[in-house]
Structure 1
Amino acid sequence: MKRVPLVIAGLAILAIAAVPAYHLIAATHAETAHSGSHSMHSANDGSSLPTEGGQSAFAAIAEIVDLLEADPDTDWAKVNIDALRDHLVDMNSLMLEAKASSAVENDTIKFQVEGEGKVLRAIHAMVPAHAAELNKTGAWTVQAVTTSTGAILTVKTETSSQLEKAKALGFFGLMATGSHHQPHHLAMAMGMMQH
């Protein structure tokens, strides 16, 4: 019989000792929850949102999807995100895997661009189309001819400073020149143009 009061007393001591630990855990949890909700609040008000989607093709597609969702006139029956993705794959192949060399003769630079498989397909799809866009800038006269191994991009300049700029940009810099890419991507995603 004397053991029962001792057991009760022991349990009472354990309970009393556990109260501060419980309060410490609860306080830590509350602080973490508060910090988390504060972080979420900050994220929700736009003051600390990340801007990178994690990978450039993913981010480009996410941006286009956001624009399409924000436009009440989007015709979802025509939207073709797969075509945009195929184009982004070509952009990646061209920029990271194509081989380019150049030769300068007087006021003209000739870029020999080569690749195999998916890279060759990307060269054939992109270089002639981009040459047409470069011609719209007025800075150079650009011509592209496809070959069995890739393409030849010819850039004719009118001044020595244009020639220096074209040489400095090189093939890959020229391919990235111009602000037509974004509207082109949106039109492609909206089904308004073919890849």
Structure 2
Amino acid sequence: MRLGIGIAVLAVVSTGAIAVAQMDHSGHGSDMDRDLHGQMAATDASVLREPGQGAFAALSEVVRVLEADPETDWSRVDLAGLRLHLVDMDRLDTHAVVSDEELPNGIVATATGDAETVATLRRMVPAHAAHLARDDRWAVTASETAESVVLQVTSEDPAVVARIHGLGFFGLMASQDHHRAHHLMMARGEEAHRH
């Protein structure tokens, strides 16, 4: 009986918290015009906001942008390819087993996992390392072994080294915000690195 009451109380509290979270407009001023709020949401229809994880949300957002663009060449659209990439992003984030070894000037991160995860790492880490290497504040290399992928990022600047240490493997893989543009290029069937 007590367990049933506890579950009922938890359900009521959770429902209330969800309702409050959904209704929270604390960032809006009391004088914000409702029509203006709707216009603000609609004016930026060509900009992606979903960077990855949440594959359905990312696909939905891409579809919205493609449908809003009269120049979309539907014969080239490749949402299946984008979906596979989003699955890779999820697998990297949730299945990779990573050991970060801090160096005095950066890190060496060794990432591994089951066969599918290692295949994902081989597709994603070298491609993302190429993006990281465009930042001249650090040096980046990616290499493969039989069962892992190794990412090394180093710098001579102590402030950048602290940033590298703080980011670690997963932070480095999420940095250099090119993901949204890359996802849109993939969806449109344009040439984009396939990682």
TM-score higher than 0.5:
yes
Between the two proteins, the alignment pairs up a number of residues equal to 149
The aligned amino acid for 2:112 is E
Q: In the alignment, what sits opposite 2:70?
A: 72
Q: What is the rounded CA distance, in whole Å, between the counterparts of 1:135 and 1:179 in structure 2?
A: 13
- Normalising by structure 1, report the TM-score: 0.70
The aligned amino acid for 2:139 is T
Could you give the per-residue CA deviations for residues 117-170 of structure 1, whole angstroms, max 9, x where no partner exists? 221111000000000001112231111012221201010112111111111111
Q: In the alignment, what sits opposite 1:147?
A: 145
Aligned mate of 2:103, from 97, 102, 105: 105
Alpha-carbon deviation of 1:116? 1.4
Could you give the per-residue CA deviations for residues 78-114 of structure 1, whole angstroms, max 9, x where no partner exists? 0000000000000000011101112233313111111
* 1:110 alignment partner, SS class: strand
Q: What is the rounded CA distance, in whole Å, between the counterparts of 2:61 and 2:70 in structure 1?
A: 16
User: Which ranges of structure 2 fall in alignment gaps of 5 or more residues?
Assistant: 1-33, 42-48
Q: In the alignment, what sits opposite 2:13?
A: none
Q: In the alignment, what sits opposite 2:157?
A: 159
Could you give the per-residue CA deviations for residues 9-58 of structure 1, whole angstroms, max 9, x where no partner exists? xxxxxxxxxxxxxxxxxxxxxxxxxxxxxxxxx8xx849x9x99xx8111
Question: Identical aligned pairs, as a percentage?
Answer: 41
Q: In the alignment, what sits opposite 1:5?
A: none
Structure number with higher helix proportion: 1
CA contact (8 A) 1:90 1:118 kept: no
The aligned amino acid for 1:167 is H
CA contact (8 A) 1:145 1:151 kept: yes
Aligned mate of 1:131, from 113, 129, 141: 129
The aligned amino acid for 1:192 is E
Q: CA RMSD in A?
A: 2.2
Q: What is the rounded CA distance, in whole Å, between the counterparts of 1:68 and 1:138 in structure 2?
A: 34
- Normalising by structure 2, report the TM-score: 0.70
Q: What is the rounded CA distance, in whole Å, between the counterparts of 1:177 and 1:167 in structure 2?
A: 13
The aligned amino acid for 2:146 is S
User: Which ranges of structure 1 fall in alignment gaps of 5 or more residues?
Assistant: 1-41
Q: What is the rounded CA distance, in whole Å, between the counterparts of 1:64 and 1:117 in structure 2?
A: 30
The aligned amino acid for 1:83 is G
Aligned mate of 1:116, from 110, 114, 117: 114
CA contact (8 A) 2:106 2:165 kept: no
Q: In the alignment, what sits opposite 1:183?
A: 181
Q: What is the rounded CA distance, in whole Å, between the counterparts of 2:131 and 2:138 in structure 1?
A: 11
Alpha-carbon deviation of 1:183? 0.6
CA contact (8 A) 2:105 2:154 kept: yes
The aligned amino acid for 2:106 is T
